[in-house]
Structure 1
């Protein structure tokens, strides 16, 4: 199997597929045996021979390095690892079936041959290959069959053939080709999101298998929101890496909307920041609550004033948080509580580095978390402007995909976050 990284289109971060993703047939067999209780009944259910099912299960047990089933006169009972692997495999194939169904729903007209080919969601999930799925993800990321082929390390005709076979299985048009390249149709986009979620299950399986060997390894991608994670998240990541040196962690930032799209398609594993109402497929965990604070450069003229009031800060320009963000809403509440309008928001930014650089070079004011402001003041880099900000306490936490059991690598990072928050609250 080619293990070239598949870069997600949203963040640009490479997400390698583990070798287990290339064993879809064996995973189908494991899931079927766990559900049916014997190789014979599983063979009947997935239309394979019993020896083929038995051989696939044995190969998967060798691959995982642990027994997946207990054999007895009454059949085969999944072990704890076997049950976990079967559960994840079931979720993987459910995502593929859902992707095929949603692709059909997005297609305004189905090809006349689709019915004769027997294109159904279950048939799609039961017969699609990882090569076809990788070709879909690669073309979506590169918008070109040639670039996708180069990315995957295979020939362009191989990519073209995989894409055509994928369309045949789905029964709908997934791609539009032109002189500008290849782009996905609405049906293709619907299928792509589910394929990425299925690949997320494959990565979770690989992390589970490492856990059975006493290892925590894998790659966790964390999306961060502004003004939320400057202190506790670096502490948590450092602790997780020290405890599990083979764990890879990637941190990206972005707007709430972009990160939520990436979370829902498994391009991101978790979002850390101010909590908001989340869609049903996302669950959230509160880590702590913290107010905001105003920062200025050392020597800022406002610091020379005595009995500084919030109204006094309107004399200077600000770097404002983006509209429709919790920080912007919190600042608006603080000013409204004193009967004031917000500072003019001619300059808005959600990039912490840009904001801090501008505040350090000018007389502009900006918001940050209260703990970060205290740390900045101790370091001498910025000053905490001594003005109260009522109504700015925000709930900081982590958002995860709902209904998905965290893999051992993600679970290790989440636990490190909880520990870091506990220690920082006690400090």
Structure 2
């Protein structure tokens, strides 16, 4: 959504045509950021996310109906995850299946058995046998992802083995491993970096060539969550118009997260880039599970849906290791993300599509699935893909002792 104090102009930056907004906004004092108010004008958002079109999976009558089922399954999955247990291999919470599938290696404990029985009263739960636990697969994944030619390692949700992303399958055929391995071509690349946002900042806007993620409460004030590879602790952060936002803190490249110490609001940009922009308030934050449907809203690509989670707890090798990411794919093989979208918000929607549910922040794209860029055109410095990796937002919140800012 555009602010009324801005005028629009086009400019060429790094070979890509982008929309730049001029702003007369000024930074606010830190103490003002403790006030949970939003002074920016808003518009009435369309009934659904701009790119959420086409048939609804699973025979649901609407995407809202599907998302209501998804959130019911996810709540049950959270309880299973919290209960833990050495035998847990994985959980599928795909709403089109209308059941929660829990994969378990060995025999469940009495406590877990009782929990699953309790959940089954309100959510159909199917417990299926697994050859390997998630814990054992994760340990093997951490070892293999360091081998030459291996770019990512993901435990299969059914506990049957690992999926390895490889640059050259010929070089990795002879890998020595104790678990079954499936190899897929993969070439992940960290995403370098909507216009020119102003305080209080929203998710999905430009900063330092990247995208803002979600507003969080941390240390009694609001801050902005984004990707760790976009800056370093103590550096200054600047929005798309060059205005100073605040200092970067808590940079952690191994988990690709950081905080920008700036006044932020619990809203996320939706719609296109420079045109048809609007925003939605954030309702909550939630974990991602295999089978979940999500949307993405980067500052350069705009908002896109039709994205499904394929693997969780994925270790990615982009020249260094990034842990606990989520592997997601746009099912129509349209590129929803690319260079410039790093740190941008990945989200679910409430059943009425009026609010977002924070799910994660963009980390890397897989260039073996490269496709034409959306939003800002593809150019010499911009590449996009339909497979990408993102950081689970709940893990980031827990790491910082932070909470999501709601709209």
Note whether the superposition's TM-score is higher than 0.5.
no
Which structure is richer in relative contact order (CA contacts within 8 A, separation 6 or more)?
Answer: 2
Structure (1 or 2) with the larger CA radius of gyration = 1
Shorter-normalised TM-score: what interval?
Answer: under 0.3
The two structures have a TM-score, normalised by structure 2, of 0.21
**Which of the pair is proportionally richer in helix?**
1
